[in-house]
């Protein structure tokens, strides 16, 4: 809890704390500060980017404002742009090229190794295993992608 000296004018930090805590109204703050010939600084109110005017035609639109807070409304019939797929072309590479790339990445100093787990018959490494390992490495080492 903050300790406030009521025998002197309030500091800007005290006023901000009292406003946030809801202990005093603006009138009570002004009355206290008037006793010490001090003014109450204006409350900093963040710009409202969500509220829409009722006269604005877009206010009746069915698309809600996306503030970044809370759940996001999505259309399940549309593809999510974040699920657009990988930005690489590993699928078009040959297995030999993928194996060579794994070796190249493992030779880069100060990076993690490409981890490839064989899921084929008898634990053999498949092309899909190599692609998965390279994509995981890319995610862990974005600055070192070649």
Q: Where in the chain are the domains?
A: 1-44, 85-144
Q: Span 115-136, mean pLDDT?
A: 90
In this model, does residue 138 exceed pLDDT 80?
A: yes
pLDDT of the residue at 74: 67
The pLDDT of residue 94 is above 60: yes
98-121 pLDDT, tens digit per residue, is 999 999 999 988 888 889 999 888
Decide if pLDDT at 77 tops 80.
no
What per-residue confidence (pLDDT) applies to 80?
60
Predicted pLDDT of residue 97: 94
| Residue 23: predicted pLDDT | 79
User: Is the distance from CB of 12 to CB of 42 less than 8 angstroms?
Assistant: no
Distance of CA 91 to the CA centre of its chain: 30
Q: Please tell me the predicted confidence (pLDDT) of residue 89.
A: 87
* Per-residue pLDDT reduced to its tens digit, 21-72: 887 888 998 999 999 888 888 877 666 666 666 666 666 656 666 666 777 6
When pLDDT is cut at 50, 70 and 90, the band that residue 139 belongs to is: confident
Tell me the three-class secondary structure of the chain, residue by residue.
CCCCCCCCCCCHHHHHHHHHHCCCCHHHHHHHHHCCCCCCCCCCCCCCCCCCCCCCHHHHCCCCCCCCCCCCCCCCCCCCHHHCCCCCCHHHCCHHHHHHHHHHHHCCCCCCCCCCCCCCHHHCCCHHHHHHHHHHHHHHCHHHCC
């Amino acid at each position: 809890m903050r300790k406030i000296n009521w025998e002197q004018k309030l500091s800007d930090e005290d006023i901000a704390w009292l406003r946030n805590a809801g202990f005093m109204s603006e009138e009570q703050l002004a009355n206290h500060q008037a006793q010490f010939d001090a003014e109450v600084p204006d409350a900093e109110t963040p710009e409202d980017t969500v509220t829409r005017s009722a006269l604005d035609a877009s206010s009746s639109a069915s698309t809600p404002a996306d503030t970044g807070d809370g759940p996001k409304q999505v259309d399940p019939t549309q593809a999510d742009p974040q699920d657009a797929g990988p930005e690489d072309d590993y699928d078009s590479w040959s297995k030999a090229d993928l194996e060579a790339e794994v070796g190249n990445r493992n030779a880069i100093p100060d990076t993690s190794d490409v981890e490839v787990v064989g899921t084929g018959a008898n634990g053999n490494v498949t092309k899909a295993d190599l692609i998965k390992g390279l994509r995981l490495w890319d995610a862990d080492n974005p600055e070192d992608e070649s």
